[in-house]
């Protein structure tokens, strides 16, 4: 996928929130509201916490049901630790903030004593998309324990990233743009090695 096509796709998606609210109900018009959060970044973490986790998320609201779909992972290299799971809630706003609630379905590696997450727990991933090339994006994650919250309003990430990029989209996505959006998300996953 060329940079020009990605730029065109992002420009089209960015202009959609300004479409009229009634356009979503017009046959052949814009499709249903869909929040999208995608990307991978390496967090800059202050001492004494675990170092440089890579946080990947690829989640959206299903346009047919409004329910969240997608996945995430949080990977630490020292000590080796990998959390993976499925998105259960996605929330975004027009300022580039996003929250993804994830259900941990796999926890592998050597969690240090006192690590706040076990398999089956929920986590809250917070992202701030500051645009391309992503050097100003921020992210973080919080343990939620075994109970998922009832809602996931968009919240800002609060840790800078040393590399990577996140995309947060809030708004109406035309149905004919969804295949191109799926291709873009697939390319993001491929670049992240997932």
Write out pLDDT tens, residues 86-136: 999 999 999 999 999 999 999 999 888 888 999 999 999 999 999 988 899
Q: What pTM value is reported for the model?
A: 0.72
CA gap 67, 56 in Å, rounded: 20
Q: Which two tokens stand for residue 173?
A: 């996505």
pLDDT at residue 191, as a whole number: 74
CA gap 170, 96 in Å, rounded: 8
Burial of 43-70, coded b for 16+ CB within 10 Å and e otherwise, reads bebeeeebeebbbbbbbbbeeeeeebeb
pLDDT at residue 9, as a whole number: 40
If we measure between CA atoms, which residue out of 47, 41, 66, 49 comes closest to residue 129? 41
pLDDT at residue 178, as a whole number: 60
Q: What is the mean pLDDT of the chain?
A: 80
- CA–centroid distance for 79 within its chain: 24
Please identify every stretch of the chain with a pLDDT value under 50, giving residue numbers as ranges. 1-29, 173
Phi, psi dihedral angles at 186 (to 5 degrees) = -65, -40
pLDDT at residue 29, as a whole number: 41
pLDDT at residue 22, as a whole number: 30
CA gap 173, 178 in Å, rounded: 7
């Amino acid at each position: 996928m060329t940079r020009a096509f990605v730029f065109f796709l992002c420009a089209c998606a960015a202009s959609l929130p300004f479409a009229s609210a009634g356009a979503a109900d017009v046959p052949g018009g814009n499709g249903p509201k869909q929040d999208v959060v995608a990307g991978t970044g390496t967090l800059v973490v202050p001492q004494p916490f675990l170092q440089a986790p890579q946080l990947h998320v690829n989640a959206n609201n299903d346009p047919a049901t409004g329910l969240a779909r997608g996945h995430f992972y949080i990977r630490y290299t020292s000590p080796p630790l990998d959390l993976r799971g499925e998105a259960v809630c996605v929330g975004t706003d027009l300022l580039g903030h996003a929250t993804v609630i994830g259900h941990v379905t796999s926890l592998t590696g050597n969690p240090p004593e006192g690590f706040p997450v076990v398999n089956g727990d929920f986590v809250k991933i917070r992202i701030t998309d500051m645009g391309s090339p992503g050097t100003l994006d921020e992210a973080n994650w919080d343990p939620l324990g075994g109970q998922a919250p009832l809602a996931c309003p968009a919240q800002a990430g609060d840790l800078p990233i040393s590399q990577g990029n996140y995309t947060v989209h809030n708004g109406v996505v035309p149905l004919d743009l969804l295949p191109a959006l799926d291709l873009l998300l697939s390319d993001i996953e491929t670049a992240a090695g997932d």
